[in-house]
Structure 1
Amino acid sequence: MDRTAWNGTFKLTETKNVKKFMELLGASPEQIKAVEEMKVTNELSNHGDDYCMKQKAGGKENVISLTLGKEADISTIDGLNLKGTVTIDGNNEVCGKYAGGIEERMTITSDGTITDTVSLGGVSMVRTYVKIN
């Protein structure tokens, strides 16, 4: 599989352990509820090492742009503000290491399913996305 597998629109279909992970980050009960109920769609594109993710949910839109291997400031649609570096392992696993010890692994399968695992201090939040185009 090559990196073009990451191009397309992906819809969030499942979340696991959001509450415990967000509590660890100090999120309020209102923020946690909003994240748990959020129906996110991500439009991903890449040109070489430059990646762009347009996140859409509940009438809100957020754009994340980064270059693999270069430090970036990242703000997500669900309120996470991260500073760190994103790399790719092979062509099907994107890895992020962020300030504060947060780590992320996104894997994509040949059928277009993305599993996004974000971890801190032994606690992980897992989100699953399916490709819709």
Structure 2
Amino acid sequence: MSFVGKKYKLDKSENFDEYMKELGVGLVTRKMGNSLSPTVEVTLEGDTYTLTTTSTFKTSAISFKLGVEFDEETLDGRNVKSIITLDGNKLTQEQKGDKPTTIVREFTDNELITTLTIGNVKCVRVYKAV
């Protein structure tokens, strides 16, 4: 788990606007979301992980135990049930709610590749280790 304690800053994003549209995010919020370059960090204390996303607009953190469902308020304000599992260097998050979403975070030595899928819309965001 070489990704624990590392920080990753957004480098490039593909199809993020379409992803936010599919979630029902309004135009102004989408424009703001597209202009941000957030930093992501994963920490681990005992068996509890914390995933923190920081931007100039907002900082959010979710704490979770692998394989245990938890309540989450998403960055766009939706309330969902989430479960996160770890397979090698991939954290897979399933969000259940009005619009089920899958988020796969794949960690390499120098990058975090996040693939967000809702329905037929897929978004890829690449973060570089800082």
Bigger share in helix: 1
CA distance in 2, matches of 1:46, 1:36: 29
Unaligned runs of 5+ in 2: none
> Is 2:92 the partner of 1:95?
yes
Identity %: 26
Are the counterparts in 2 of residues 5 and 112 from structure 1 also a CA contact under 8 Å? no
Count of equivalent residues: 127
Hey, what does 1:86 align to over in structure 2?
84
TM-score normalised per structure 2: 0.87
TM-score normalised per structure 1: 0.85
Residue 54 of structure 1 deviates from its aligned partner by: 2.2
Distance 1:36 1:72, change over 3 A: same
> Is 2:105 the partner of 1:106?
yes
Are the counterparts in 1 of residues 3 and 42 from structure 2 also a CA contact under 8 Å? no
CA RMSD of aligned residues (A): 1.7
Unaligned runs of 5+ in 1: none
1:47 counterpart (45, 48, 51) = 45
Instruction: Give every structure 1 segment of 4 or more consecutive aligned residues whose post-TM-superposition deviation is greater than 3 Å.
Output: none
Aligned-partner residue type, residue 79 of structure 1: D
